[in-house]
Structures are given as C-alpha cells and as structure tokens.
Structure 1
Amino acid sequence: MPEYIIGQDIPRGGVSSLSKFHGKEVAFFSDRAGTVTLDKEQLGSYSISAPNSKCFANPFGWNTKLGYKNYTPKVFKAHESTIDNFLKSLVQLSKTQSSNVKLSSYKVFCPSSFFQYISVKRQSRFYILWYNNRYIIASNETREGQNVLMSYAGIRFEDLLTHGTTQKTINNYNLYESVIETKINGLNCLYCAEIDSFDKESEAYTEIKMVLCKSNLPHAKTTNKKSVLKSLSKGNVYFGSFLFRLLIQCKFANDLKVVIGIRDQSFTIRNITEFSVEDDLLPFFHQLYPEYYEKYMASMELIQRVFSTIINQVTRENPVFYLEIGSQYTLKSVDSVSERRRILERFMPSEFISLVDSFD
C-alpha cells in the first residue's frame, strides 16, 4: 500500500492567500430530495425577533434543548454514500435545458468539507476516486457518535430563526446545498456546500451558528457588534478556533453574513447578532487572533499542496486512495481490486457513471 505524507508547514503570509479564492454558484439542490433547482424557493430566510425585555435570563423565550429527546439525527450507514445526492443532482442538472453548466468540462467533484477539513486539520477521512480522467472525492464521515444534544440545539436554533416556534425540530435530514464551481491546481472543480439561510433583503447567503458564552454575557439588546464579539472572546476560551472554522466554512460556501446566537450553559439564547463576514468578523479575527488568521490566509496554499499530491498519485493505474487527516496529511492507496469495486459502488451512483462515460 503506497503511502504519501504531505508537507504541512504553512509559509509566512501564504503563497496563495485565501482572499484570492473565487467560487461561483451554478445551481442549488435539496440534499434530501436530490432535485436540482436554479432558484432558491425552498431555502428559508431568517427573522430575528425582538427580545422579551421582561425576562433577562430568557429574553427570547428560547431554550434550544427542549424537545431533543424526540430528535432523530441523521447517521449514514457504513455502506451509504455521503455524496450520492450531489452526484445524482449533477445528472439532473445535465438534463436541465435552462442550465448553461457544461459538466463535461469539470475534472473534480467533491463536498466543501474537503477544503474545510484540510484547512482546519480536522480529523477525518476522504476517499479519492479516479474515473475517466475525473476525480471524485467523498467523505467517509458517518456522523456516528455525535453529541445528540449539541446537534439538536444547533438545528433547533436554525429552525427557530427560519420557521419560528410553530415548527418542531424532528431531524436534520433536509439540507440545502449550493453547487459551486472553482479551479483547483488548474482543474475545473464542482463542489457542494450546505446553506443555512439567506438575508431576504440582500439575498446574501447566511451561516447560522450558536455558541456558548460562560461569562461576560452581552445583554439581549446589545447591538454593538464589536462589543458582542469582545464578550464572546472573554467568555469562551475557544472562540478563536471557533472563528477560524466558521470563516473557512463561510469562504467556501459563499456566505456573506453570519447570525450568531449566544447561549448560556442552560442552552438558553441570550443574544442574537447578525454580522458581515467582510466588515465585522474578518477585521476582528485579524486583530485578536493573528496566528489563526495567518493559517486562514494560507489555507488555499495548503489545499493546493494536498491536491498536487493527489493528481500525481491517483491515476488510471492506481485509481482509489484515501486521504487521512489527523496529526498529518496522509494519502494511502487501496490495492485490493474487490475493495476498489466496493468503494466505487458505494460513492458513485450508476447514473453518474453513465454521465461521465458519455463525456468522452
């Protein structure tokens, strides 16, 4: 089993800063239905209601853990594909007359988590498949062992903002994904990124996050954004890491705004603030967390370095590898023919294989 350790030293200033990265949305689909659309009718906008000034401890009347015992989180089975609906949606996109997307020109298909996890060095595994001069990259993350309460509370907060208190949070099966095109090492790439909501006025994609603040809780009516961010940096020792992951996620999903709900240890929402990624979060991040900011700016160079190793090693002769992200970045080949076939069948639906076969 050939194994390749990929260098991870980040150069000062970054050879290719993330600010130069550009991704353009070309389609949109529901992850549960797998049906491509070219509009955003099913994606909800959010509404931040005025707080109940009579109750400081629970100003919005929201405790996001209520109801979690009836929650059924999505868990992928060992043989289930994590990229299935994305690839099936591309098949449908190829049949959409109103689409100008020429799928045959793309050489890489992957989830945005591939870029995110490399950037933040999150422990994970991705399968890399070579098929007809294309690279298909799929996550092996099944969501097993997830903290059900934390998963529920985050989804519940999203539902409260986008649907109000009348809708119950039952599961996290129905996700909305943006299909985005970009270039990686000169190769045309299509990837999918989950979208939480959008701002109705500007139609800007918006990430919704909830974060714990143990102390220095800002008042519900506090609207000074710098003040809110300073409270979080004092009340959560991991806020720098949180911002790093959040901003990487926003960059690859084309999120221009972020709505952050600040909760206390009882999972009660104490403050909700909307931030501009460019005008609010990045300047604060740059000023208070320079080490994380340097990693953020250099993350594109790191992605390119990893992908350079992939395109050099994953070939017709050696078509199946997996990338292990942990203490280091390790690319390992799958040598067993039967195992290769199993992985191919797991991650590539027959409809997509037929589509790729028709390209050449």
Structure 2
Amino acid sequence: MSEKRSLTFPQYFNNLEERSFKTDFVKKEYSHYCQIGKNTWKFSKEQLNTLFVPKNLLDDTQSLWMNVSRNYQTFQTLQFPRNESTIKNLLISLTYQEYQDSTKSSTQKSGVTSGPTTSIKDQKKPRIISHNGLAKDIVLGDGDVYEIVPYQGQLIFASTNRRLNQDRLSSYTGIRFEDLLKIDYSGKSANELHELCQKNHTKDNFSHFKRVFDVEFKKTGLIWRSSAEIDGLDETATSKEAAYVEVKLTCHYRHVIGYDRKELLANVFSSYPQKLTKWVLQCSFSGSDKLIMGVRTSNYSVQNVQIYQLEELVEFLKEISPTQYRIYATAIDKVESVFKWIDETVQDDCVYTLSLDGPQYRLTEHPSSSSIYDSIKDNVLTKTFWNWRNHGVIPDELKQGELDLTKESEPKMTSKPTISSSDDDALTDLMEKLNVKS
C-alpha cells in the first residue's frame, strides 16, 4: 500500500442508545502517577492534594483574598514541542507497571512470593490506550485531531494539541484557583487568608496527578486503558476512591455573592448549558464524583465557591436542556461506536490521523511507505516505552518508580542491547503475557 486513504465514519449519530455510567462504564483501577515540576515523572500520589472549599466569601471585602490574576506574568505554561509525545507520561506509567507485573510474576515462579499480583496473561489486553479526554472529544466533536499508532496489538492515541498558543492569563487563573483551594481556610480571618495567598505562588502548570484505569465496553468487549487527571480530594470524604474532585472556574459578570447552590447554577448555565455538558462529561469519564465550581468577576476576584455532587449536575442539566442531557446520556454509546469503527478499520502497517469534526468523523490512513509514517510513530511512542517493549530494558531509576523526563528526547535503541539475566527473564515473561514478538 503506497497511497493514503481517507475514511469517513459510516453513519450519523442518530440512533444512539442512552446508557448509564454506573453500570456501563465501570472503571477498574490499573495504576497512577504524577509529574513533579517540568522534568520528573514519579509513581506516587504526592500531587494528589485535599481541597478545601472556603465558606466565608460573603462580601466583596472578604472575597478579595481569593484573586486569581495576581502575579500571572511569571507563570509558565505547559507546552509540547513537535518531537515530544503528548502521551509520554502515560506510556512511561505503562512501562513501569508492566515491568513491575512481570518482575512479580517471575519472582512467584521461582517460589518466592513478593505479594499478590494478577497475571497479565489472565487478563484481556487493552486494545485502546489514550488520555481520558479522548472520550469527551469524541462526544462533542469540536474539531480535535489525534494521531493513532497500531503497536503490538494495541491502538495508541495521542492528541495533536501541543498547547503552543495558550493565553497565559487564562491558563493561570484556573491553576491558581486550584492552588488556592489547597489552603485550609478554617478559622482564619480574611486578612490571614490574604497573607497566605500572597506567600503561596503558582509558578506553572507542570505538576499533576493522574489515575490510570481500564473500562471494558459491554457491546464490543473492547478494553480502553486511559489516564485521567484528578484535581484533588474532597476534604469531607471518608473513602479516597470516592473522593476525587474536578475543579472549574468560570467568569460571570452578574452579582452572585450569597447565592445558594441551585441559584448559582441557574445564573451561570441557563443561557449556556453546553459548558455544563462539557464539565459533566469530564467528571463522568474521569471518575470524579464531585465538582468544585468557582465564579469570578471581571477583575478576577472569586465571589462564590460551591461543591456539587455529579448527580446534582446531571439532574440540573436534564432540567434546563433536554438536548444537552441527551448528549450526556448517549456519550458511552457514541464513544464505543467510534472505537468499534476504528478497531475494525485500522491496519497494522499504517498510522492514522483521526479528525473529530462534526458528525462526519474522518480517519486518514498513512501507509508505512509514506513520508509522514515515521514522523507520526516517533512523535507518539516514547524512548522508554519503545526500548521496554522492543528490548525489555528500562532505566534503573524507573525501576525505583521515578524518571527524569529530559531523557525522553534521547534516541531510541536500534539494536538489541546486552540484557541482564533478571531483565531477560522479565522480558520473556512479559512477551508471553502480552503476546508480543520480541
């Protein structure tokens, strides 16, 4: 095959079935990781912080301490250069977890038990690997573009949005709001809070925590492994698994100080329910059961903060816009339909560009003989993941659960290196379980 093909999704989304996220989108936890600063990946939860909802934003004077524009000029935004994979952290996480799983299995085979583990061989292998935002992008069809690399029986999706043209102030305000929620406000006066905020600086948006989980779709049996960013933990929750919180900040020019929770929703979303649909989808696909919403003024002072159960937001969306609620209710069916189409269409010797624009989604095929084939493959797959899957080796520091991300820009191995016996056993075991040819 030497010429590229462009294929269009074979149907409009007219007959989608309404399905429940509770029963049809069951998440099975696989792993987690965090990025610390610009250059450190770590198997850790240290970036998963408890968030505190301030309850003393009663008037303009007290709300001044929570200003989300102050000092934004020094803020650094996260960007992805062309030669950097937008999915690198997830692939590093998979490398680390696969290595750990294979090492545990090898230890158990030798008669030494190092703790409970589930053999990959006894599991169905995930077919689709991506960031969690892919699902929302499929549902909304707002023009996002992804690159797809079929690799060792799996389809790896990477967004082409490299965040190169971010507005510094807009990026800063949301991250700044999250950072301010990490301050325990209880028992502090407005002046004390103002002083705390002055000392607490938001330098960049590099650091984050992400959970990695699998979902098996009921109609097709396809398994999707994705990573979802979690903004924080609810301060009142007793179970961390059910305490994940999404944080959103929106601008509203009308006076909403003192509004109760329902009044605030009505004022912010009644004329623009699409925004609420987007937020509800993000929470539903990522597994955040609650949403903290802040409303700021035109001068960037936050005047109202409320926390909502996801179920509350879904019911409110249904009340104000049946059309938008229908988008939410059919989201699982739409995502599974698109995944099924891609799964049945792609060929192993090609890479693809997926354009999600309106009802006619387009999949462009780039055969191995095309000039863009190597470029897409190199921009999606990372050095660490490539070397592990092809040669069975990982950096020593990653074996301990940490990695310097600057090393990802170094070349991939092109020939099989000398591997220690322990690494070789781990590789053999992994290849058997994943059904991957060495």
Report what 2:5 is aligned to: 2
Alignment match, 1:23? 27
**Alignment pair present for 1:43 and 2:41:** no
Instruction: Tell me the CA shift for residue 56 of structure 1.
Output: 2.4
Structure 1 partner of 2:224: 189
Could you tell me which of 352, 355, 376 is aligned with 1:324?
A: 355
1:11 and 2:14 equivalent? Answer: yes
Does 1:111 find its partner at 2:151?
Answer: no
Q: Please report how far the alpha carbon of residue 324 of structure 1 lies from its aligned counterpart in structure 2 after TM superposition.
A: 0.8
Conserved 8 A contact 1:57-1:270: no
Deviation at 1:28, TM superposition (A): 1.3
Shift of 1:16: 5.0
Say if 1:102 and 1:34 are closer, same or farther in 2 by CA, change over 3 A: farther
Residue of structure 2 aligned with 1:225, choices 240, 257, 261: 261
Contact 2:34/2:46 (CA < 8 Å) preserved in 1?
no
| Residue 132 in structure 1 maps to residue 152 in structure 2 | yes
Structure 2: how far apart are the matches of 1:177 and 1:293? 27
Q: For 2:92, which of 88, 92, 112 is the aligned residue?
A: 88
**304-313 or 98-107, which deviates more:** 98-107
How far apart, CA to CA, are the structure 2 residues paired with 1:275 and 1:4? 41
RMSD between aligned alpha carbons? 2.2
**1:29 partner letter:** Y
Q: Does 1:267 align with 2:300?
A: yes
Determine the structure 2 residue equivalent to 1:145.
165
1:209 corresponding residue in structure 2: 248
1:175 to partner: Cα distance: 1.5
Match of 1:64 among 60, 68, 85: 68
Q: What amino acid does structure 1 have at the position aligned with 2:47?
A: Q
Q: Taking structure 1 as reference, are residues 99 and 61 closer, same or farther at Cα in structure 2, changes over 3 Å only? A: farther
The code of the aligned residue for 2:292 comes to V
Aligned equivalents of 1:71, 1:103: Cα separation in 2? 42
DSSP-derived class of the 1:34 partner: strand
Where 1:334 maps in the other structure, the secondary structure is strand
CA distances 1:75-115 after superposition (whole Å, capped 9, x unpaired): 11111111011101111112335684655622221111111
Q: 1:227 to 1:141 in 2, by over 3 A?
A: same
Q: Report Cα offsets for 1:40-71 as digits up to 9, x if no partner.
A: 34310111234254x42652522211111111
Q: 1:248–1:296: 8 Å Cα contact kept in structure 2?
A: yes
Whole-Å Cα distance in 1 between the matches of residues 333 and 139 of structure 2?
9
Of 138, 159, 177, the residue aligned with 2:210 is 177
Higher mean alpha-carbon deviation, 251-260 vs 337-346, is at 337-346
Does the CA contact (< 8 Å) of 1:111 and 1:191 recur in 2?
yes
For 1:122 and 1:103, the matched residues in 2 are separated by 36
- Distance apart, 1:210 and its partner CA: 0.4
* 1:156-167 pair list within 5 angstroms: 156-163=176-183, 165=197, 166-167=199-200
Counterparts in 2 of 1:178 and 1:84: CA distance versus 1, 3 Å? same
Counterpart-to-counterpart distance in 2, 1:132 and 1:22: 25
Inter-partner Cα distance in structure 1 for 2:282 and 2:119: 26
Tell me whether 2-11 or 263-272 shows the greater mean CA deviation: 2-11
Residue segments in structure 2 that go unaligned for 5+ positions in a row: 105-114, 184-195, 391-430
How many residues of Structure 1 are paired with residues of Structure 2 in the alignment?
348
The aligned amino acid for 2:52 is S
Letter in 2 for 1:225: R
Matches within 5 A, 1:330-345: 330-335=362-367, 336-345=369-378
Query: Alpha-carbon deviation of 1:10?
Result: 3.1
User: 1:121 and 1:182 mapped to 2: Cα distance?
Assistant: 21
2:243 matched to 1:243?
no
1:290 matched to 2:322? The reply is yes
* Residue identity opposite 2:223 in structure 1: N
After superposition, the Cα gap between the structure-2 partners of 1:159 and 1:6, relative to the gap in structure 1 and judged at 3 Å, is same
Q: CA deviation at 1:354?
A: 4.5
Q: TM-score, normalised by structure 1?
A: 0.90
Q: Is the 8 A contact 1:93 1:99 kept in 2?
A: no
Aligned CA distance change for structure 1 residues 285 and 36 (closer, same or farther; 3 Å)? same
SS state of the match for residue 172, structure 1?
Answer: coil
SS in 1 for 2:338: helix
Distance 1:326 1:52 in 2: 41
The change in CA–CA distance for 1:8 and 1:111 in structure 2 (over 3 A counts) is farther
Relative distance call for 1:63 and 1:45 in structure 2 (3 A) is: same
CA distance in 1, matches of 2:244, 2:80: 27
Q: Is the 8 A contact 1:35 1:92 kept in 2?
A: no
By how many angstroms is 1:207 displaced?
Answer: 0.3
Q: Secondary structure at the match of 1:62?
A: coil
Shift in CA distance, 52/292, structure 1 to aligned 2, threshold 3 Å: closer
